[in-house]
Amino acid sequence: MRAVGLDEPLFVRRGEGAWIEDEAGRRYIDWVMSWGALIFGHADPETVEAVVAAAREGTTFGASTEREVELAE
């Protein structure tokens, strides 16, 4: 973590919006946001809800699904 001015590794406990929190409770702005994958921020409520809804229908089937076809089109 020397690239960002830390001598020790940063252990992140949680994230919310643009913020991450370390194990000691210190908060930091997450300028990286997983290199763009977290465009809506950490734990975005709508994103979490969509992931939970999709997971309730199953996670992997080893066969094609309608959602796969929709995404491909």
Q: What is the mean pLDDT of each run of 10 residues along the chain (73 residues)?
A: 79 97 96 92 97 93 91 93
Q: What is the pLDDT of residue 64?
A: 92
Q: What is the pLDDT of residue 48?
A: 97
Q: What is the pLDDT of residue 63?
A: 93
Q: What is the pLDDT of residue 67?
A: 86
Q: What is the pLDDT of residue 1?
A: 66
Cβ neighbours, 10 Å, residue 20: 19
**Whole-Å CA distances, 62 to 25, 31, 50, 71:** 41, 37, 21, 17
The residue written with tokens 């000691």 in the block is: 24
